[in-house]
Chains A and B, each alone.
Chain A
């Protein structure tokens, strides 16, 4: 292969495939090699789908050679979090030992949609067991071991879409699909120095995805840039008769050429109780953003955001995993705290769950007029950079710093994107998140695009990973 696709954005790779300067088979073989060589080093891969990928690549190549070019993702390899069902005997492990050999007879809608776009599935990617819903407190909570950040193999990739973040950041796939119930796309985006988009609840069908919490789960992309996230969302969004919660609203990713000033809000408490270097990078980002944004500080109305989100998640997951909990197989999970995690939540009272739902309805309606005034509300993605692999982390589920944006955004289903915004002295990436009004993915994507035009954090990659293998 004359030109390496490594760490190139999707438009560049797509153009080279369209121009036939690289072929889908060449590029697929290239990433299969990286997945097989580097995947085990980072614990980021569950299954490399060599056979399927080469078959799909050959089909894509034939189509393109015969003049049938489907669009930007045609012939481009991707990885999927291992909670998305895949047929053909490919295991879907949910990251958990009790499901190591689980297979499905059908594909998740997202897998089918990407297949229809001509994208090539090269890998099922590592994840925290059962999407982190059992209350894990440490990186070693997956059947594939603790997934490592591309920036330091002694630090954690984040979770629960750990492999999706790590594989993009290490150049094992050009893009990946992850999922988020509360923090599971944004956290790996932060720790791995990549861009991650959590779409509006219902924007992307969840058919064929492991449910953790029916009213909180979302599926979205992790990529090298905000623009890449928009390109992928364009292909995976939309209604699905197989998923009643998927919105009928159609989505089209539109890049704005308008150089207008964006309206941006900063949560007054955004930098409270967070790591000093994270706060410094956030402040520096606000300086950059002030060049093209009108920035206001705001407060959200007082609500128990974290308690509402956590109660909904615990009650719904308690029901979803009722049979699993009763079977005793939780004892086979990896993290000690996950082995007993399913039990306590079965005691959440119905009245508390229902009041949490009622509060969420009220929050949703009170927040919308606030969100409608801005292109985004922003804050640091996480209060800390990646933690060490051996350390218990101060998780998204419970911690010292309030995760108001994460709790609120996930409770009411607001879209959010995290993009890299700097490094710590230890050379670990930090991120900034932009949270938008419901169904306003294009606003936050265009804002993040503009931020990435003014900064180059997303173009930085670990030196050792730039060497070809």
Chain B
């Protein structure tokens, strides 16, 4: 529910890796459940743990505010001279 009070900080920064790992596994399993064999489950969970370790490094890296936001999109128009 929306509130005008500040109710604390986002939980994603608390690094609740185990819970996030479970959610990511559920997502992967949802997509590929028919393709994943029993002996692959733990190995995929290991891969997810690696992805989250990297993600955590990226999330905690401080961006330099003096750099512009990434924006490389250019609108396309075929008759470019118009």
Residue positions of A touching B, CB distance < 8 A: 135, 303-304, 306-308, 310-311, 314, 325-326, 328, 330-331, 337, 339-341, 343-349, 352, 354-359, 361-362, 365-366, 398
Contact = CB atoms under 8 A, between A and B. Distances in A.
B35 A347 contact: no
A340 B34 contact: no
B59 A355 contact: yes
B52 to A, nearest CB: 9
Interface string B25-40: 0011001101111001
Contacts of B55: 307, 311, 348-349, 352
Nearest to A135: B47
Given A339-B40, A343-B32, A346-B31, A359 B61 contact: yes
Interface in B37-64: 37, 40, 43-44, 47-48, 50-51, 53-55, 57-59, 61, 63-64
B70 interface: yes
Nearest to B49: A344
B58 A307 contact: yes
19 contacts: A304-B58, A311-B51, A325-B32, A340-B36, A341-B47, A343-B31, A344-B44, A344-B47, A345-B51, A346-B28, A346-B31, A346-B32, A347-B48, A352-B58, A356-B58, A358-B67, A358-B70, A361-B70, A362-B64
Contact of A355 (B31, B37, B50, B58): B58
Most chain B CB atoms below 10 A, which of A307, A328, A331: A307
8 nearest CB pairs, A to B: A344-B47, A304-B57, A307-B54, A307-B57, A347-B24, A340-B40, A352-B55, A358-B70
> Taking chain A's interface residues, is the majority helix, strand, or loop, or is none over half, making it mixed?
helix
Contacts of B31: 326, 343, 346
A303 B60 CA distance: 10
A341 B32 CA distance: 12
B50 A398 contact: yes
B69 interface: yes
Contacts of A307: 53-55, 57-58
Given A355-B58, A362-B67, A366-B64, 8 more contacts: A303-B61, A344-B51, A352-B58, A355-B61, A358-B63, A361-B67, A361-B70, A398-B50
A311 B35 contact: no
A366 B55 CA distance: 22
Contact of B35 (A135, A343, A355, A361): A343
Nearest to B56: A307
B33 to A, nearest CB: 10
A339 B47 CA distance: 13
A452 to B, nearest CB: 37
A308 B67 CA distance: 17
A100 to B, nearest CB: 20
Contacts of B61: 303-304, 355, 359
B28 A347 contact: yes
B38 to A, nearest CB: 11
Contact of B69 (A339, A347, A358): A358
Contacts of A352: 54-55, 58-59
B51 A357 contact: no
A359 B55 CA distance: 12
A306 B32 CA distance: 27
Given A337-B43, A355-B59, A365 B27 contact: no
Most chain B CB atoms below 10 A, which of A330, A359, A398: A359
Contacts of B47: 135, 340-341, 343-345
Given A337-B43, A348-B51, A361-B70, A355 B36 contact: no
B36 A343 contact: yes
